[in-house]
Amino acid sequence: MSINQSGWRPTAPEQGKGNVPASVTGNKALMLEEALIFEIGDSHTTGVDFCSPAKAGAQTGSPPSRGNKLGALARKAPIGLPGLSEPETVRHYTRLSRQNYGIDLGFFPLGSCTMKHNPRLNEKMARLPGFSDVHPLQPVDTVQGALEVIHQLARWLVTLTGMTSVAMSPKAGAHGELCGILAIRAALEAKGEGHRKVILVPESAHGTNPATAAFAGYGVEDIPATAEGRVDTAALKARLGPDVAGVMITNPNTCGLFERDMREISDAVHAAGGFVYCDGANFNAIVGRVRPGDLGIDAMHINLHKTFSTPHGGGGPGSGPVVFSAALTPYAPLPFVEKQGDQFVLVEEETAGEHHAGSFGRMVAFHGQMGMFTRALTYILSHGADGLRQVSEDAVLNANYILRSLDTTLDAPFGPSGPCMHEALFSDSGLAAGFSTIDIAKGLIDEGFHPMTMYFPLVVHGAMLVEPTETESKAALDQFIAALRSVAERAKAGDPSLKTAPHFAPRARLDETLAARKPVLVWKDPAPLAQAAE
Ligand SMILES: *Cc1c(COP(=O)(O)O)cnc(C)c1O
């Protein structure tokens, strides 16, 4: 049932539960149903009173009359946008926002996403008008403070990673991957090695890695994983050769394990003339403890929105600066912030003889995500070097607490080979016939938890990847563990009610595959009101 401003628009009747009748509104207590904005507004309504132009026609959609001055530009057909008053608009979006789940509401164990608390201090700093109100085209001498933030953050990122330089402009992890691969391509072309056309990617990689390599014009070849969940170093070395441009390796990897052979892999790739890209999305597990530069890495993106606590989810804004080794630094993208004397300047063009001489160009129109830079620098400064080290230690401790609390209930394929890093990985092995990871995820929703990452990484059947981060208390972890244990026991016992979970959510099992494959992006009125009411 959905609600129209001017009355009800009945849809499928709601079923009551037991002796309790369904509500006539479709609402469940103060959880309100909300229709699409197109269903509650119509194009004849507006929240603003306009003076009618003489013999007006444009506003109602009828042909222009002699009275208006728009001539042929006057709209001939209705605009098709819903009109709502201000209070209706506020309610619409507030109701929708209450159906969302976010890190400020509860535990968000999405593996590989580092859904940590976003400290409010970061928000306060990012909202200072000197940062939030600057315009990217303002004269450089009026934005010295903003440039200093970018410059200071860049220095921290270079220091924490042990690399040579950093490109701040990429706007997400995947964008950073593209940045790194384009720098590798520029470096190879500068050496006359543009014929290297293959990028090696481990089986456990995030989908963005092969997608990036393919997008940049490379062939992608898989490197198998060992039974322990790490890159098969021997297989990788055997594949190196004159056609290989480089490798893309995630460390810690998406099985939640540290790639212990990283230095050996980097040396072998370099000896074979290739470059090493590291997917640094999981940097939270090693920040303050491992410097990727010491592992022979040439380029790595850092998800400020994961490791450095800037908000994410729902599409952004992200920020994915890329750190570079000395070998790749000349090819990094523009712009750069540089300190010259006591002035900060924006280097926006290749300058011969300087370290950006071979830059592959620009990735974005301006300089990157100022709000994210301010939040990330605030986070880094408020934690300090010792605090950042404790972040990774606590993140790893929390993940191991989850792994060891649940590895007798759920199958933990790599559990026997030792502790994990920042995330705990389980499989669907041992569930009753016909039960799978999706049933556990849906059961968790009834318990008030956002599900973990499911069916990824692909190297584990029915994978469940749980990343608690360091910002959850032991009490929060214990509650989650109790919930997941209970749901897992039901899945092992074949409890049929789990197959139809969630029972308490406004919507239960949507056809997510159909929604992804055939998204309906344009709203069409299913039936005129009069018909629907019959
Ligand atoms: C999150 C993530 C990415 C992509 O980062 P975005 O900012 O979402 O583009 C890439 N690789 C891994 C391992 C990730 O977890």
Answer whether 318 contacts ligand 1 (Cβ < 6 A): yes
Answer whether 208 contacts ligand 1 (Cβ < 6 A): yes
Contact predicate 202/222, CB 8 Å: yes
Flag whether pLDDT at 407 surpasses 90: yes
Flag whether pLDDT at 453 surpasses 80: yes
Nearest-atom index, ligand 1, CA of 205: 13
Nearest-atom index, ligand 1, CA of 305: 7
Flag whether pLDDT at 65 surpasses 80: no
Average pLDDT over residues 251-261: 95
Reference 472, options 482, 480, 463, 483; nearest CA is 480
CB atoms within 10 A of CB 519: 8
Average pLDDT over residues 427-455: 97
Flag whether pLDDT at 15 surpasses 60: no
Q: Which of 108, 112, 181 to mutate to test the pocket of ligand 1 (most atoms within 8 A of CB)?
A: 112
Which class for 397: exposed (0-12), middle (13-18), buried (19 or more C-beta within 10 A)? middle
User: Ligand 1: distance of its center to the CA of 476 in Å?
Assistant: 25
For ligand 1, atom 8, which residue shows the shortest CA distance?
A: 173
Confirm whether pTM is higher than 0.75: yes
Answer whether 304 contacts ligand 1 (Cβ < 6 A): no
Q: Which of 110, 206, 251 to mutate to test the pocket of ligand 1 (most atoms within 8 A of CB)?
A: 206
| pLDDT band, very low/low/confident/very high, at 61 (cuts 50, 70, 90) | low
In Å, what is the CA distance from 338 to each residue of 152, 324, 347, 348? 10, 16, 7, 11
* Dihedral (CA of 201, 206, 212, 215) sign: positive
pLDDT value of residue 13: 47
Q: Which of 108, 303, 307 to mutate to test the pocket of ligand 1 (most atoms within 8 A of CB)?
A: 303
User: Ligand 1: distance of its center to the CA of 166 in Å?
Assistant: 18
User: Ligand 1: distance of its center to the CA of 299 in Å?
Assistant: 15
Answer whether 303 contacts ligand 1 (Cβ < 6 A): yes
| pLDDT band, very low/low/confident/very high, at 8 (cuts 50, 70, 90) | very low
User: Ligand 1: distance of its center to the CA of 302 in Å?
Assistant: 9
Q: Which of 175, 204, 250, 279 to mutate to test the pocket of ligand 1 (most atoms within 8 A of CB)?
A: 279
pLDDT digits (tens, 9 = 90+) for 282-306: 999 999 999 999 999 999 999 999 9
Residue 476's φ and ψ, nearest 5 degrees, are: -65, -40
Bigger pLDDT: 511 or 43? 511
Contact predicate 407/413, CB 8 Å: no
Reference 395, options 484, 305, 466; nearest CA is 466
pLDDT value of residue 54: 62
Answer whether 252 contacts ligand 1 (Cβ < 6 A): no
Answer whether 427 contacts ligand 1 (Cβ < 6 A): no
Residue 38's φ and ψ, nearest 5 degrees, are: -70, -25
| pLDDT band, very low/low/confident/very high, at 67 (cuts 50, 70, 90) | low
pLDDT digits (tens, 9 = 90+) for 301-329: 999 999 999 988 766 689 999 999 999 99
Average pLDDT over residues 331-340: 94
Flag whether pLDDT at 87 surpasses 80: yes
